[in-house]
Structure 1
Amino acid sequence: MSRPDGGAPRLPAWVHSRLLKAAVSALLIGLLLWRVDTGEIAATLGEVSWGLLALGAGIFIVTNLVSAWKWGLVIRAQGDRVAYGYLAALFYIGLFFNNFLPTNFGGDVVKAFKLSRMTGRAAEAAGSVVIDRVTSTIALLTIAAVPALFELRLLGARMALIVLAMLLAAALIVAFFASERFARRLSGLRIFSFDPMGVRRHLKSFYYALHDFRRHRGTLAAVMLVSLVYQGLQIITVYVLALSLGIEVSLIYYFLFIPIVLAVGMLPVSLNGLGVREGAWVLLFGQVGVASAQAFTMSVLSFFVMTVVSLLGGFFYLFDRALPAAGASEAETGAGNG
């Protein structure tokens, strides 16, 4: 797009943002590779146990199926009946786009959009995705908090502050969705008054779709319980993958460190957390005697395996036209039985 003054075309702001994040990722990865022994990385990969590697991938597949079932609990509580097979496929589609779009939340948008096309309720579809994401985040922070109470000395002052900030963020999230008065006061702050695209009205209906979910206390408790199982399985996946490299560290440290790694990886400063995540691995696992090259290899292998598993979502996306029929059939059956 050319400028009115005849100058060179100006790139959109989002392109500048992506380029900056790519530069940050490249810089961080470059610094890590400069600091670690690349020969040791190759040696660590050469010792991989293919059986444990396959087991880790299998656990991760089951982990995502558990999370898809949890998402289904939320959707059912909202009054929609969608076949589990379709939700599982849709969950993998979201996972695929989360990994291959330059943002950690692109897959969530795809999931919400496709679900809304089936149910015809956009606010509820988006709300179900956010509830799924929020409960998973709260469960992750809860898991991190328990071992942190006993191993706080390993974190150091800087990481202890990060854990504290994570717990504070979780408390604010819970308060925002649990208390309409708190949400109204927070949204009334001047920082939230800027609304150039007129989206506040849509966000308000979206918020109430989430807020109303408080009525389903039994479902909410079940969703939180399954969220804990889901996050626990995700951490065990990483533990098994580390064992496949011959790295033996007590499981409790994975329950302490992996939530921090995942939380840091969600910071919008790099492409999908690339570079930031690997740096956190090296820093944290170095506290318990894991060499920098081994920690870096653990991070890269975990990311690689999870990315390969997410390719299932790309396969489901290619055959997406055949998927809604399976979901619609249960929706119609549920309506007929209701």
Structure 2
Amino acid sequence: MPPAAPPKPLARRILGHALRLGVAAAGIAYIVKTVRWTGGVAADGSPEPGFLDLLRDADPGLLLLGLALAALSIPVSSYRWWGLLRAAAVPMPFLRTLRLTYVGNFFNYCIPVGSTGGDVVKAYYAGRGHDRGTGGKTAVWLSVFVDRCSGLFGLLVLATLVGVTQLGDETIRPVVLTVGVVVLAGALAIAGYGWGPTFRGLRLARLDRLRGVGGVFRAARVYREQGMRPVVRAIALTLAVHGLLTVSAACAGLALGLGEHVSLGRLLVVLPLCIAAAAVPLTYQGLGVMEALAISTLAAGDSADNGIVGMLLFLRGYQLTSGFVGAVLLLAFPMEKPGS
């Protein structure tokens, strides 16, 4: 067994926490500065509702529809991870995978440890009962990592696919083209890793012998030997997962009257990018980061800022709901080793 990695120096840990707290504080300050809490008068003399007015007058039907769509995304997300586990020959019932997904969401959304904390918890509990020497634990951790990466890449694919229908929008066109280039590069990388001639030509087999991470690449061989089909399926399922989540957020935006300021098509392009930005563990649930990206990219004017902030607030509320379900499952049914 390789020696455990030495702990990070105290100064580095303190610096990392200070950096994250600073970014979070900046995000909160940005939101507070952007939001107009009370109503006013627009430049054309028409009344302009404040943030609290928008929340009070929101369409409850659309908000509930958004919550239902977000809830539907959880089983599909679990099925995506379950498929990666099965492809890696890791036995696990689907219901246990679903339960671990909810528990992971609790740590992702309800505890400010970063958006990757739930992934660590999922991998830890899923790996219990598997012998490290057989590679079972490595395969579990790799499946979680691939699940996370396929989710992020799928968000970019979703934004590109919707963006193709919005190329006539001059505001959003540069964003779509930029993301499309990233998607093309990622697709070529996946195809190259899975295609035998490219794998041999670039001598990628040497990665299996790298010290420290060679075991990861050896575990990844199971996906490559299947022509990367499990990864492609995971990305395809991501379109369903984040399609539901994107539409749920759009429902919240429409419930707040955001449709008066920005087209639905533009919303459906920008929202996947905001969700991807929130997955970067800089602030709690991307606080401030999502708002800044959405406001700058949607370019809908100051009158839309309240609706954008409110939409993202409800999106976080939907995600928190799934986290609370995970908390109930964790408290009511303590996690045990498979078969114990």
TM-score (norm 1): 0.78
- Alpha-carbon offset, residue 42 of structure 1: 0.6
Give the match for residue 313 of structure 1.
Answer: 326
- Residue 73 (str. 1) matches residue 89 (str. 2): no
- Residue 105 (str. 1) matches residue 104 (str. 2): no
Give the match for residue 154 of structure 1.
Answer: 171
Question: Residues of 2 paired with 1:170 and 1:186: CA distance?
Answer: 21
- Residue 262 (str. 1) matches residue 275 (str. 2): yes
Contact 1:141 1:170 in 2 (8 A): no
Task: Name the amino acid aligned to 2:166.
Answer: E
Relative to 1, partners in 2 of residues 1:98 and 1:12: Cα closer, same or farther, differing over 3 Å? farther
After TM superposition, the structure 1 stretch with the greater mean CA deviation from structure 2, 65-74 or 178-187, is 178-187
Counterpart among 45, 51, 68 of residue 58 in structure 1:
68
Contact 2:280 2:286 in 1 (8 A): yes
Relative to 1, partners in 2 of residues 1:27 and 1:289: Cα closer, same or farther, differing over 3 Å? closer
Q: Deviations over 1:8-36 (max 9, x none)?
A: xx954223212222222222321332233
Q: After superposition, where does 1:22-101 map in structure 2 within 5 Å? A: 22-39=21-38, 40-99=50-109, 100-101=111-112
Counterpart among 226, 239, 252 of residue 265 in structure 2:
252
Question: Residues of 1 paired with 2:307 and 2:288: CA distance?
Answer: 15
Question: Residues of 1 paired with 2:218 and 2:304: CA distance?
Answer: 49
Q: After superposition, where does 1:188-199 map in structure 2 within 5 Å? A: none
Relative to 1, partners in 2 of residues 1:272 and 1:243: Cα closer, same or farther, differing over 3 Å? closer
Question: Residues of 1 paired with 2:272 and 2:20: CA distance?
Answer: 22
Task: Name the amino acid aligned to 2:126.
Answer: L
- Residue 167 (str. 1) matches residue 179 (str. 2): no
After TM superposition, the structure 1 stretch with the greater mean CA deviation from structure 2, 246-255 or 84-93, is 246-255
After TM superposition, the structure 1 stretch with the greater mean CA deviation from structure 2, 316-325 or 304-313, is 316-325
Contact 2:105 2:322 in 1 (8 A): no
Relative to 1, partners in 2 of residues 1:83 and 1:11: Cα closer, same or farther, differing over 3 Å? same
Question: Residues of 2 paired with 1:172 and 1:186: CA distance?
Answer: 20
- Residue 204 (str. 1) matches residue 188 (str. 2): no
Give the match for residue 276 of structure 1.
Answer: 289
Contact 1:102 1:271 in 2 (8 A): yes
Q: Deviations over 1:207-251 (max 9, x none)?
A: 221232122345444333222211211111112222332332544
Question: Residues of 1 paired with 2:162 and 2:335: CA distance?
Answer: 45
- Alpha-carbon offset, residue 304 of structure 1: 2.2
Relative to 1, partners in 2 of residues 1:150 and 1:244: Cα closer, same or farther, differing over 3 Å? closer
Relative to 1, partners in 2 of residues 1:204 and 1:180: Cα closer, same or farther, differing over 3 Å? farther
- Alpha-carbon offset, residue 272 of structure 1: 4.0
Secondary structure of the corresponding residue to residue 291 of structure 1: helix
Q: Percent identity?
A: 24
Counterpart among 139, 143, 161 of residue 128 in structure 1:
143
Secondary structure of the corresponding residue to residue 261 of structure 1: helix
Give the match for residue 233 of structure 1.
Answer: 244
- Alpha-carbon offset, residue 185 of structure 1: 10
- Residue 302 (str. 1) matches residue 315 (str. 2): yes
- Alpha-carbon offset, residue 268 of structure 1: 4.7
- Alpha-carbon offset, residue 168 of structure 1: 6.3
Q: Give unmatched runs, 5+ long, in structure 2.
A: 1-8, 39-49
Q: Deviations over 1:262-291 (max 9, x none)?
A: 233334543442111111122233348961
Question: Residues of 1 paired with 2:216 and 2:82: CA distance?
Answer: 19
Question: Residues of 2 paired with 1:103 and 1:79: CA distance?
Answer: 29
Size of the aligned set, in residue pairs, is 307
Relative to 1, partners in 2 of residues 1:288 and 1:118: Cα closer, same or farther, differing over 3 Å? farther
Question: Residues of 2 paired with 1:322 and 1:212: CA distance?
Answer: 28
Task: Name the amino acid aligned to 1:122.
Answer: K
Q: Which structure's residues are more often helix, by fraction?
A: 1
Relative to 1, partners in 2 of residues 1:216 and 1:235: Cα closer, same or farther, differing over 3 Å? same
Give the match for residue 158 of structure 2.
Answer: 143
- Alpha-carbon offset, residue 164 of structure 1: 5.5
Question: Residues of 2 paired with 1:18 and 1:93: CA distance?
Answer: 24
Task: Name the amino acid aligned to 1:155.
Answer: I
If asked which structure has higher relative contact order (CA below 8 Å, sep 6+), I would say 1
Q: Deviations over 1:168-216 (max 9, x none)?
A: 66347626853656585997xxxxxxxxxxxx63421112212321223
Q: Deviations over 1:10-65 (max 9, x none)?
A: 95422321222222222232133223312211111111233332322222121011
CA RMSD of superposed structures (Å): 3.2
Question: Residues of 1 paired with 2:162 and 2:220: CA distance?
Answer: 31
